[in-house]
Amino acid sequence: MKGKVCHITTVHPVLDIRIFEKECISLARNGWEVHLLAPNTSSRNERGVHIHGIDFSSENRWLRMINRPKAMLQAAIEIDADIYHFHDPEFLLQARKLLRLGKKVIYDVHEDVPRQILGKPYMPAWSRPIIARCFEMFENRVVKKLSFIITATDTISERFLAMHSHVATVFNYPILREIQSVPEWKDRETAIVYVGGVTAIRGIRELVKAIELLPEDIKLHIAGAISPAAFESEIKSLSGWSKVVYHGTMDRSAIVQLLTQSKVGLVTLYPQVNYLDSMPIKLFEYALAGLPVVASNFPFWNQLVSEIGIGLNVDPRDPEDIANAIQYLLSNEEIACSMGLQGRKMVIERLNWEQQEKILLECYQGLI
């Protein structure tokens, strides 16, 4: 055994694709004793990972941010790991306490949180810049003392490199073994697919309006949790919803089946500042499944999609533009098929978890 590591999340589901399927499983397969603290799940051993479920009663968002990290800290101390690896900014205060105990602590930064705060709909608009700035100052102060910073994008890494010498980007690329083969594009259902959080800023309203503009036989598959409740009522009232097949939250095998049965993958997020340079996993999962993609026309995403030739970029706020791109792909089989093959080739050769796993293991090896 190389050592004992404890991953901690106060927010993510226990089988989160980055935390559990990629990082925890990779570490367990490579000789680490891996523990995972997660909210509201059963305690068990799953695929070599020791899962510790921490139960919480129903809480509002603000109480959760106070109560969960405290409970997670106590459970983490009891595990007595060599390395602690946490995934949520809510845990930053508790991370300092682990450092005082002589532990090595990794902060896994999935999102650029200060920029993310600027788009939070539940915060008054006037307060967001103030809260974002205060949080950034606090985060920067704590980060300087941590053992290692892992981020999901180079843009986030660049920010932390200004204050810390041990920073690495571990991209959230797909796991190749999940989709080892795909059917011919022409043999798939005439359907388009979106997988991920179903919220307004992820462009779902416009997708439902776009499907209404397309021929009757084209279906839009949506997989993911809808929030908030008011948005669910809104999108289900749109006339285009009659052409939506809503699957709710699906497990990984069901998602793979859905992707390999569809013809076009959608990732039309709004131009929120934290999305502009993001690397959404769904884009690369679509590519691995052989799907041409329709993506937002951010400059960085234009380079990822149009310039490489794996799909089309559109204005995410324009249902007609989205519909036209979908119709173009469905009507031009040879071009769509070529884009799908190019995307799959790109992921298999370069942009996959198997390559990123090596970086993760090097980070851990450096700490011990």
Number of domains in the chain: 2
pLDDT of res. 63: 64
The pLDDT-based confidence of 230 (bands split at 50, 70, 90) is very high
Pair (298, 357) in one structural domain:
no
- Report the pLDDT averaged over residues 162-175: 96
- Looking at per-residue confidence, does 55 or 350 come out higher? 350
DSSP strand E in 215-310: where?
A: 219-223, 244-248, 264-267, 293-296
340, two tokens: 């799908």
Pair (16, 150) in one structural domain:
yes
Pair (229, 326) in one structural domain:
yes
Which residues are CB-neighbours of 77 under 8 A, at least 6 positions away?
98, 101
The pLDDT-based confidence of 87 (bands split at 50, 70, 90) is very high
- Looking at per-residue confidence, does 15 or 56 come out higher? 15
Pair (74, 169) in one structural domain:
yes
Q: Which domain holds residue 10?
A: 4-173+352-367
pLDDT of res. 59: 64
C-alpha–C-alpha distance, residues 33 and 25, integer Å: 10
Pair (75, 107) in one structural domain:
yes
Can you tell me whether residue 144 is helix, strand or coil? coil
Pair (158, 208) in one structural domain:
no
- Looking at per-residue confidence, does 64 or 303 come out higher? 303
Pair (242, 329) in one structural domain:
yes
Pair (163, 210) in one structural domain:
no
Pair (78, 195) in one structural domain:
no
297, two tokens: 């026309």
- Report the pLDDT averaged over residues 44-57: 92
Pair (290, 317) in one structural domain:
yes
Q: Give the DSSP H or E segment for 357.
A: helix 353-367
C-alpha–C-alpha distance, residues 270 and 279, integer Å: 14
- Report the pLDDT averaged over residues 348-362: 97
- Looking at per-residue confidence, does 116 or 301 come out higher? 301
CATH number for 80: 3.40.50.2000
- Give the number of C-alpha atoms closer than 13 A to the C-alpha of residue 307, restricted to the C-beta side: 8
As a whole-number percent, the residues of the chain with pLDDT over 90 amount to 85
The pLDDT-based confidence of 65 (bands split at 50, 70, 90) is low
Pair (113, 213) in one structural domain:
no
Pair (151, 194) in one structural domain:
no
> Residue holding tokens 């941590």?
146
- Report the pLDDT averaged over residues 276-299: 96
> What is the pTM for the complete model shown?
0.91
- Report the pLDDT averaged over residues 103-122: 87
pLDDT of res. 57: 66
